[in-house]
Structure 1
Amino acid sequence: MTKGGVAMWPLLILSVLALSTIIERSIFWIRFLLKEGKILNRVLETAARNWDAAPKVAKEHSKHPIGNFLYGPLRLDNPDPEVFHLALESSADDELALMRRGDKVLEAVIALSPLLGLLGTVLGLITSLGNIQISDLGTSSTTGVTLGIGEALISTATGLIVAIISLTFYRIFQSLWSNQVRVFRKAGSELEVIYRQRWSDSEGNPSAFSGNTPSKFTETFEQ
């Protein structure tokens, strides 16, 4: 820290922010992916068999992003299919936005770390070269200047290391998020198909929104 100069302190702060964000997001994604499939299958299977029980099942998992996403439209009382579709989109947008928490911190660290490292090096070079006199050139007096230049490069190396590590995890989290966009879209489409089919049947059978779903819905979903 001493050899790197004043730029090392803001780099230390940025590295702590990046590390804490990486740990928090890693824990979030591990827990999310371990439970996602089970929750998604349970809610969709319940909706296909017994629509009235689906909101209760989704509410039980509302603390999980995928459960809260599905609970958003399911809690509505027999909405129009278009309203149901809008509720799905709104719920998906909210949950996907929350899942990107921490991205801004990593983006800031990635952008600022190399610049701060470069600034530390420039300041170190200014100090080292400012101590050189013309009469000292070619003598042993310039040995300290060489060491000073080497120490000045420490901040640049530190800034690059912090930025590279942060960028690596940022790309991993972005990839996981992009995959979830596809999962949310597919899950929302399946739930909407089930609802629209039931809505269509309810026009000729008002009791279609209560009790068990006809077996053809279950067969279609399982296929």
Structure 2
Amino acid sequence: MTLEEIIVKGGVAIWPLLFLSVLSIATILERLWFWSQVLLQEKNIIDRVSEAAQLNWDLVAKIAREYRKHPLGNFVYSPLQLDEPEPEVFHLALEAAADEELAKMRKGEKVLEVIVALSPLLGLLGTVLGLIKALGSITISDLAGSSASGVSSGIGESLISTAVGLLVAIITLSFYRLFQALWAKRVRIFRKMGSQLEVIYRQRWFEEEILEDFTDNPEDKFGFESKLPRSPNH
């Protein structure tokens, strides 16, 4: 059956179904392009940021700035724009950046949810309207005659809209679940990267605070040594 035959025999419900199918395809293609760009650069960002955080913290902001168009790069760069924030402020900045970037990643999901919900219902509506049309013009006496064949063909045509609605919903739901799985994995990556950066930043902040206290009070040697971590032998 060609597309033209589907449109002709599908009834009035086929037009909103065609609109939803076009909308679904456009949204899926846009999301596929977005996720392909995210996945291509993600490993490189993680490796470079992790290495810089361990060896030279000052390079982290520079590397993250290069990938500001990437969700992970922008997530890392957002708290680093602050001027030497306290660890608590750094933590809040990471959380705010993660929430913003993860929300952007879910773009288009609401559209796909609506399509998944509406497509089968529109298909059923088209089937019901087709059955009403097919059965409304006959009487009981006509069932034994030649008009019965026309009824069966009309019922077959009315089922086209249901088939189209289910097809649109199944394809859309498959990609919707795929995008949800990709998003869930990004949540874990953001948490892992954020925790790693926060631990390193807190350690760096603590060391700088000790050095600053010792510089301001060089005679307070005992107070400085009391802040240093003790070895297991002491």
Per the TM superposition, whether the score is higher than 0.5 is yes
Match of 1:15 among 15, 21, 43: 21
- Work out whether residues 58 and 67 of structure 1, in 8 Å CA contact, stay in contact via their aligned partners in 2: yes
- 1:122 paired residue among 100, 104, 128: 128
Match of 2:102 among 96, 101, 110: 96
SS of residue in 2 equivalent to 1:203: helix
The CA deviation string for residues 181-218 of structure 1, in whole angstroms up to 9 with x for no partner, is 00000000000011001001011224xxxxxxxxxxxx
Structure 1 residue 47, shift from structure 2 partner = 2.4
Aligned residues: CA RMSD: 0.9
- The letter of the residue matching 2:128 is V
Structure 2 counterpart of 1:183, one-letter code: I
Q: Percent identity?
A: 65
Structure 2 residue aligned with 1:154, among 136, 160, 167? Answer: 160
The correspondence for 1:3, drawn from 9, 28, 48, is: 9
**Higher RCO (Cα < 8 Å, 6 or more apart):** 1
CA drift of 1:44 comes to 2.4
Question: What secondary structure is seen at the aligned counterpart in 2 of 1:188?
Answer: helix
State whether residues 3 and 154 of structure 1, in contact with CA within 8 Å, keep that contact through their aligned partners in structure 2. Answer: yes
Could you tell which deviates more after superposition, 164-173 or 134-143?
Answer: 134-143
Residue 45 (structure 1) shift: 1.7
Asked whether 1:106 is paired with 2:109, we answer no
User: Which stretch shifts more, 45-54 or 180-189?
Assistant: 45-54
Deviation at 1:125, TM superposition (A): 0.4
Q: Which amino acid aligns with 1:197?
A: Q
Look up the equivalent residue of 1:161 and give its one-letter code.
Answer: L
**Separation (CA, whole Å) in 1 of partners of 2:170 and 2:152:** 27
Q: 2:77 is matched with which residue?
A: 71
Equivalent residue letter for 2:60? A
Determine whether 1:195 maps to 2:201: yes
Of 47, 54, 61, which residue of structure 2 is paired with 1:55? Answer: 61
Residue of structure 2 equivalent to 1:42: 48
2:32 paired with 1:26: yes
By how many angstroms is 1:5 displaced? 0.3
Cα distance per residue 1:153-180 (max 9 Å; x no partner): 0000100000000000100110110011
Q: TM-score, normalised by structure 1?
A: 0.90
Give the unaligned 5+ runs of structure 2: 1-6, 213-234
Paired amino acid for 1:180: R
Alignment of 1:196-215 (within 5 A): 196-206=202-212
What whole-Å deviation, never above 9, does each CA across 1:18-71 have from its counterpart, x for those lacking one?
111111111111111111010122122222222222212111110000000000
Kindly report which structure 2 residues correspond to 1:75-86, keeping only aligned pairs within 5 A, or say none.
75-86=81-92
TM-score using structure 2 length: 0.86
SS in 2 for 1:2: helix
AA aligned to 1:114 is: P
Structure whose alpha-carbon radius of gyration is higher = 2
Distance (Å, rounded) in 2 between the aligned partners of 1:53 and 1:155: 58
Deviation at 1:150, TM superposition (A): 0.3
Name the count of aligned residue pairs.
206
Mapped to 1, the partners of 2:121 and 2:143 lie a distance apart of 31
